[in-house]
Amino acid sequence: MQYDGSSFCGWQRQRQGLSVQGVLEQAISTLDPLRPIKAVAAGRTDAGVHAAAQVVHFDCCGSIPAERWASALNGRLPCTIRVSEAVERPKSWHACYSAVYRRYRYLVYNSRRPNLFLAPWSWHRYHSRLDETLMRDALIGILGCHDFSAFQRSGSNRANAVTTVQAVELERVGDLLNLEIQASGFLYGMVRLLVGQLIALGEHRLTLHEFERRWQERLRHEVKEAAPPNGLCLLRAGYEESFFSEAAWFDCMPRFVLASSDPPKANPFLN
């Protein structure tokens, strides 16, 4: 499923606020009202965070075949939530525990000029031209299994902060920086805290040595800036076997393509 997280308090149902889980469960219950509905997601996205291919499972006992659930739910969901595809899985399968990775993308808009159409999906950094080479070097350094306590917000119920970063990618396309990170699992607030540090690094407010020291020595008290949620999107969750079509699961968030806003010889960042 996909959702625009702007108006939601996150995936997880809350006592106050509109959650994606709550809205989805309400829609499911109108189609299968004979049992309590609990929708379980591969990743619990925070308030304001989007999803391009969130994977969710729920148990049902009605007569609706699996392939018809997507269209049936879309007719009952707000325009900010869409189900791309539905398939039947064994009862032992779990959207969260069966996942072998989650992959996120963070979009940074790096231009002096604002852009109204990019604002809901990106973080506008206009103070200077970001040093993506330095940021990429820092990302490569976090690959592997480590304790990422420095990038974990308070309030987590995890037993420890150890996780495995499996892949990283940072690409500049004109004034846009696409940052992708894939891991076996993510800590509470991990990507946004990590991106906040990378931006400080790219703006030369932080050295590579300081960045590495903070996470390697687990200096959470020094990691104070978190990137805003609107630039973050859960791209997909991966499993040992493929059961969704590629169109519904693999690359469902379009890549924005934006030429540089300044001629190469008159770049104000270089003056």
Q: Which residues form the catalytic set?
A: 46
Closest CA to 41 of 91, 104, 102, 120: 102
CA distance 49 to 228: 9
Using DSSP, state whether 144 is helix, strand or coil. strand
Phi then psi dihedrals of residue 147, to 5 deg: -90, 115
Q: 127 with 203: CB under 8 angstroms?
A: yes
CA distance 156 to 38: 21
Q: How far lies 212's CA from each of 148, 155, 206, in Å?
A: 11, 24, 10
Using DSSP, state whether 121 is helix, strand or coil. helix
Per DSSP bridges, beta strands 101-109 and 232-238 are antiparallel
- Region of 240 on the Ramachandran plot (φ > 0 left; ψ -120 to 50 alpha; else beta): alpha
